[in-house]
Amino acid sequence: MFKNQTPRQLSFYIAAVSATIVVALLFLLEITGLFRISFAQIVAVFVLVFTVAFIANFYLIRYYIFRRIKLIYKIIHRHKLPSDFKADKIAMSRNILDEVEREVDEWAEKHNQDFEELERLASYRRRFIGDVSHELKTPIFNIQGFIHTLLDGAVNDPKVNMQFLQRAAKNADRLQAIVEDLETINKLEAGQMVLDLREFDIHDLTEEVFADLEMRAESRKVRLIFKEGANQHFRVRADKENIRQVLMNLIHNSIKYGKEGGVTKVSFYDMETFVLVEISDNGIGIDPEHLDHLFDRFYRADKSRSRDAGGTGLGLSIVKHIVEAHKQTVNVRSTQNQGSTFGFTLEKA
> Tens of pLDDT along 160-185?
889 889 988 988 888 888 787 777 77
Q: Is 225 inside any structural domain?
A: yes
3-state DSSP assignment of residue 2: coil
Domain end position, chosen among 94, 116, 146: 94
Q: Provide the 8-state DSSP code for 227.
A: P
Q: Mean pLDDT across the chain, nearest whole number?
A: 80
Structural domain total, the chain: 3
pLDDT at 81: 47
| CATH code, domain carrying 329 | 3.30.565.10
Q: Are residues 169 and 206 in the same domain?
A: no
Q: Are residues 60 and 141 in the same domain?
A: no
Cβ 326 vs Cβ 347: under 8 Å: yes
Q: Are residues 280 and 163 in the same domain?
A: no
| CB-based burial, 26-45: b 16+ in 10 Å, e otherwise | beeebeeeeeeeeeeeeeeb
* Whole-number Å distance between alpha carbons of 317 and 314: 5
What's the pTM? Answer: 0.58
Those residues with Cβ within 8 angstroms of residue 341's Cβ, 6 or more apart along the chain or in another chain:
278, 279, 280, 281, 332, 333, 334
Q: What are the distances in angstroms from CA 225 to CA 63, 202, 211, 264?
A: 80, 14, 11, 6
Q: Is 99 inside any structural domain?
A: no
Kind of pairing between the strands at 235-239 and 263-271: unpaired
Q: Which residue has the higher pLDDT, 52 or 302?
A: 52
| CATH code, domain carrying 154 | 1.10.287.130
Q: Which residue has the higher pLDDT, 136 or 339?
A: 339
Q: Is 143 inside any structural domain?
A: yes
* Whole-number Å distance between alpha carbons of 210 and 317: 22
pLDDT at 312: 63
pLDDT at 283: 84
What is the average per-residue pLDDT within 58-76? 67
Q: Are residues 182 and 88 in the same domain?
A: no
Cβ 243 vs Cβ 345: under 8 Å: no
Q: Are residues 174 and 223 in the same domain?
A: no
pLDDT at 306: 47
pLDDT digits (tens, 9 = 90+) for 81-115: 444 444 444 554 555 556 666 777 777 777 778 77
Q: Is 118 inside any structural domain?
A: no
Q: Are residues 203 and 336 in the same domain?
A: yes
Q: Are residues 301 and 255 in the same domain?
A: yes
pLDDT at 85: 46
pLDDT at 305: 46
Q: Are residues 223 and 292 in the same domain?
A: yes
pLDDT digits (tens, 9 = 90+) for 294-344: 777 776 655 544 445 555 677 888 899 899 889 999 999 888 888 899 999
Domain end position, chosen among 161, 190, 219: 190
Q: Are residues 238 and 338 in the same domain?
A: yes
pLDDT digits (tens, 9 = 90+) for 195-253: 889 999 999 999 999 999 999 999 999 999 999 989 999 999 999 999 999 999 999 98
Q: Comparing C-alpha atoms, which of 223, 271, 217, 253 is closest to residue 340?
A: 253
Q: Are residues 38 and 136 in the same domain?
A: no
The end-to-end CA distance of the chain, in Å, is 67
Decide: residue 166, CB within 10 A, 0-12 exposed, 13-18 middle, 19+ buried.
Answer: exposed
Find the range with the poorest average confidence among 32-36, 248-252, 280-284, 320-324: 32-36
Give strand pairing partners of 277.
268, 344
Q: Which residue has the higher pLDDT, 258 or 212?
A: 212
The boundaries of the domain holding residue 32 are: 7-94
pLDDT at 75: 62
Q: Is 338 inside any structural domain?
A: yes
33, HSE (Cβ side, Cα atoms, 13 Å): 0
What is the average per-residue pLDDT within 124-145? 76
Q: Is 110 inside any structural domain?
A: no
Q: Are residues 140 and 73 in the same domain?
A: no
pLDDT at 316: 87
Q: Is 282 inside any structural domain?
A: yes
Q: Are residues 163 and 233 in the same domain?
A: no
Q: Is 116 inside any structural domain?
A: no
Q: How many residues does the chain have?
A: 349
CB atoms within 10 A of CB 246: 27
